Structure 1
């Protein structure tokens, strides 16, 4: 909720919720450059010699550890309850999901 409030205070005009998969594609340049993403407070430890793990490349593993894949339609209702910003849904892939988004009253797809 704090991030949504921060967006409001900062003057953002809408909340965009991405509902398609957070999985990253094959990132050859990141592997070649030995890039790995970690939670960090400064740039120390930004680079690593570890190219890939069983969860994919560094950025892909970072995405999997950062994004919550359990998003559901009730979460859109929750967003609506904490903000007056228009709610846009990005990544609708099926007619059924577009219909559901319209039914729950999102402001745009």
Structure 2
């Protein structure tokens, strides 16, 4: 959700018209964390590159030099549960909230009429020290109790990681960094290759743990250390 709510509404309509089947709202990062490696690298879009989906969006005025975050237009416009209710009334598309890390927020997500939960810590790049999503997943799954799908984001590098997440109750997983690296190295064919590798590794892990179908995967395939 952008600070310009009229633009956000237009973006939703564009997504509907383009045939998208769901909306994912990132709720754990109203502002970026301190990404010092990015700062040192001077990361910026190259000439001729721009965020094309955000063209025409009004941006909040810059804060005064005396302020940091609190009291700035950016933080004042950060979405709240009220804004999510507004979004829910704006579209019939399923809405999934990404960035849920607490059971209480999972329960409120369901109460708010959302259609899915994505357990995510933003790759650990927003708030340093947040627990790994694979640790957070079981308690969120328990809270949801089958009311909505629970997906997991973060740390998915091999098919075995997918097996573990499903065993802990995830409906599905999201894959980020492997796709980005593959796209940079080989374009669209690279992403397709990574997807094939992940599927092959998952099917191999399922075979070696005696799981003929996804539904057969449960905690019996896991061994917890002392």
Measured against the shorter chain, the TM-score band is: 0.5 to 0.7
Q: Number of aligned residue pairs: give it.
A: 87
Determine the structure 2 residue equivalent to 1:43.
47
What is the RMSD of the two structures over their aligned residues, measured on CA atoms? Answer: 3.2
Determine the structure 2 residue equivalent to 1:100.
108
Q: Give every structure 1 segment of 4 or more consecutive aligned residues whose post-TM-superposition deviation is greater than 4 Å.
A: none
Determine the structure 1 residue equivalent to 2:88.
80
Shift of 1:33: 3.4
Residue 15 (1) aligns with residue 23 (2): yes
Partners in 1 of 2:86 and 2:28 — Cα distance? Answer: 18
Determine the structure 1 residue equivalent to 2:183.
none
TM-score between the two structures when normalised by the length of structure 1: 0.63
Determine the structure 2 residue equivalent to 1:59.
none
Deviations 1:16-39 (A, max 9, x none): 1111024234241x33432346xx
More helix by share: 2
Larger of the two Rg values belongs to structure: 2
SS of the aligned residue for 1:16 comes to strand
Q: Per the alignment, do residues 34 and 84 of structure 1 end up closer, same or farther by CA in structure 2, a change over 3 Å counting?
A: same
Partners in 1 of 2:26 and 2:99 — Cα distance? Answer: 6
Q: Per the alignment, do residues 34 and 85 of structure 1 end up closer, same or farther by CA in structure 2, a change over 3 Å counting?
A: same
Shift of 1:97: 0.9
Structure 1 spans left out of the alignment, 5+ residues: 47-54, 56-64
TM-score between the two structures when normalised by the length of structure 2: 0.33
